[in-house]
Structure 1
Amino acid sequence: MAICLGAMIASTSAFAQSPTFFRIGTGGAGGTYFPIGGTIANAISAPPGSRPCDEGGQCGVPGLIAIAQSTTASVFNAAAVQNGQLEAGLSAADVVHDTYFGVRKFEGKPHPKLRIVANLYPEDLHLVLPKGQKIESLADLKGERVGIAQAGSGTQVAVLTMLDGWGVNRDNIDAAELGNSQSAERLADGQLDAYFYAAGWPVAAMVQLASTKGMELHSFSDADLKKINDLVPAYIPSQIPAGVYDGIDYAVKTPAVSALFIVSSDLDEELVYGLTKALWNSNTRKILDNGHAKGKQITLETALDGVAVLEVPLHPGAARFYKEVGMIK
């Protein structure tokens, strides 16, 4: 169904002649990538025949039909953008860096086609425990049944690196490779002792878990946050405010990584310029502010935060937009 955009799109007028499908890889339905990806898809779309933006219609790229696809998240999305299975995707900053350069867990497997459109929002690492349970550090997870997130997710790659810093690995835990919703269900049923998930709060599956069975979130010490930053530099100290989830009446210190909107270098510059411009117009601002809570943190002012440090290029179409608005000299 999808069309090879790079070969097809040559000018803005081409969009008005026939629909162009644009696939955005997101994550599981119980996480944050999926609703945010859906919001972005809505914002950049303007199907053929739709009313013009100034007449109350959609304010996206004329002729573009963007579709948010549920996937296993960051690692899958980066690979799928690289090999042409997806035109775009949401992915964690550490995964984008490591896959682009082919380092660490991706040694010898560079993804040179990855390009950044924007930094979106911080993804806070949630270490979820049963109600009434606490741990002192990650070392306490030895011998436990632990959800380490789905294979193909950036969370799993980062979590395994973190755990190794405390001598915890697949050999001394009962590791479960599950999505967020499945992990929450297993924890509620007593089949897991803990699970990890990195996402923008509030996370739908955790909202449900907290309001039914109840849960706890591990708050990391400052020393542990520094150690995690040394192990996985893209993860920086953050905080989940008290009251985000029922029963969690304390602020949670935790590491966080930026979620990025990425595309393929194969995409036409005019197309990516158009979708970047659509992402940051006033109509999209309204959509972001009235959707998932994390939408409010997706702003033009923070669109380039941390991007230069990653050394992964912006797509020329996106760079052109940021130059026009004075964010790049």
Structure 2
Amino acid sequence: MKLFGASKLVAAVAGVALMTGLAIAQQPTFFRIGTGGTAGTYYPVGGLIANAISAAGDKGVPGLVATAIASNGSVANVNAIQSGAAESGFSQSDVAYWAYTGTGLYDGKPKVEDLRIIATLYPETIHLVAAKSAGIKSVKDLKGKRVALDEPGSGTLVDARIVLAAYGLTEKDIKPEYLKPGPAGDRLRDGALDAFFFVGGYPTGAISELASSSGIELVPITGPEVDKLLAEYKFFAKDKVPAETYKGVGATDTISVNAQWLTSAKQPDQLVYDIVKVLWNDASRAALDAGHAKGKLITLQNATNGLGIPLHPGAERFYKEAGVLK
């Protein structure tokens, strides 16, 4: 009887352990992706990626629940990754480099040494959008004008200051406002603003809507000032917005940085490996191609371009297996 009782007890304990194990296995893993304002490019692209890698679809990472979260952009996302408020986030390559090295915007601040890259996504174009009535044909023409530079904590604000400086201007030379492209576009349409900066993939919804409803000018960012800027800041590259990307706007020379998907070195290697593997499968490819104009530029071949900071080990392992990284 004692032996029989002991057997029953062992069986019962084993059963509880099995059920507990199943319960643990079934608990979802949450993976937040910090993006940007809802009118920009980060937010819709983040939503596409979150849907692609989540387990809700049978081709996602088992047990993973990924969500795209609106934010103030690059700097805010780096801070969220550092603090643990988000597992990952999008950032401009310049901001990521400054954070990791403790230079530029992060000069005098502690280095964010745990910052790692999941993937380079696509080029982010610097847009300088002006009202047709403002008479702005060059960056130099911004002097004395009402110009929105985006919100504090955004990569756009950092780059706008660099561009202004390249042409010998500071915020004291303009009438600065600190607005996201959505509200900035509204003010420009209403005649309360002359121009605004936006860094993001083209076409972006807020600018497309503005071009269709009231017409805009895209101001070129080019000339010897830009050549000097490119020599000093290696994370910038020459870029061109094709004609009719925005209604009524001709081809416009400008510059760009890379959009990157970042995480922390503290995230498990296997989890990041699984996420990257799903990101580049056929189902995700189809979703990216169909979901947003920038989706076609998010490719495995570009994923390791212009890194600037280390890849996450889980991502690095996949890219080596896929043959895009030596």
TM-score, scaled to structure 1: 0.89
Partner of residue 301, structure 1 = 301
Kindly state the Cα deviation for residue 136 of structure 1 after the two structures are TM-superposed. Answer: 4.4
Separation in 1 of the partners of 2:299 and 2:273? Answer: 17
| Distance of aligned partners of 1:273 and 1:139 in 2 relative to their CA distance in 1, 3 Å threshold | same
Asked if 2 retains the 8 angstrom alpha-carbon contact of 1:129 and 1:216, the reply is yes
Farther-moved stretch of structure 1 (99-108 vs 68-77): 99-108
Distance of 2:208 and 2:44 partners within structure 1: 15
- Partner residue of 1:42? 51
Aligned length: 304
* Whole-angstrom CA distance in 2 between matches of 1:60 and 1:160: 40
Shift of 1:83: 1.4
Corresponding residue number in structure 1 for 2:167:
166
- Counterpart of 2:29? 20
RMSD across aligned positions (CA)? 1.6
1:91 is displaced (CA, Å) by: 0.3
1:167 CA drift (Å): 2.4
| 1:235 positional shift | 1.5
The residue type paired with residue 235 of structure 1 is: F
Deviates more, 1:168-177 or 1:226-235: 226-235
Equivalent-residue separation in structure 1 for 2:223 and 2:289 (angstroms)? 32
Distance in 2 (CA, whole Å) between partners of 1:15 and 1:217 is 54
> How far apart in 1 are the matches of 2:86 and 2:200?
21
2:38 partner SS:
coil
Aligned-residue identity in percent: 46
Q: Does structure 2 retain, via aligned residues, the 8 Å contact 1:133–1:216?
A: no
Alignment match of 2:323 (pick from 298, 323, 326): 326
User: Deviation string for 1:222-252 (max 9, x for gaps)?
Assistant: 434313313433121001100111111x111
Question: Is residue 33 of structure 1 aligned with residue 42 of structure 2?
Answer: yes
The answer to whether structure 1 residue 281 and structure 2 residue 281 are counterparts is yes
Secondary structure of the residue that 2:246 maps to in structure 1?
coil
List gaps (5 residues or longer) in structure 1. 1-12, 48-56
- The Cα of 1:173 is off from its aligned counterpart by 1.3
2:54 and 2:78 mapped to 1: Cα distance? 22
Question: What is the rounded CA distance, in whole Å, between the counterparts of 2:112 and 2:243 in structure 1?
Answer: 39
1:8 corresponds in structure 2 to none
Alignment partner, residue 7 of structure 1: none
Larger Rg: 2
Q: How far, CA to CA, are the matches of 1:179 and 1:274 in structure 2? A: 34
Distance in 2 between the 1:180 and 1:270 partners?
Answer: 37
Q: Once the two structures are superposed, what CA deviation does each residue of 1:94-119 show, in whole Å capped at 9, x if it has no partner? A: 00000111101211321111100111
Structure 2 alignment gaps of length 5 or more: 1-21
Q: Is this contact kept in 2: 1:121–1:259, CA < 8 A?
A: yes
Amino acid at match of 1:269: D
- Counting helix residues as a fraction of each chain, which structure ranks higher? 2
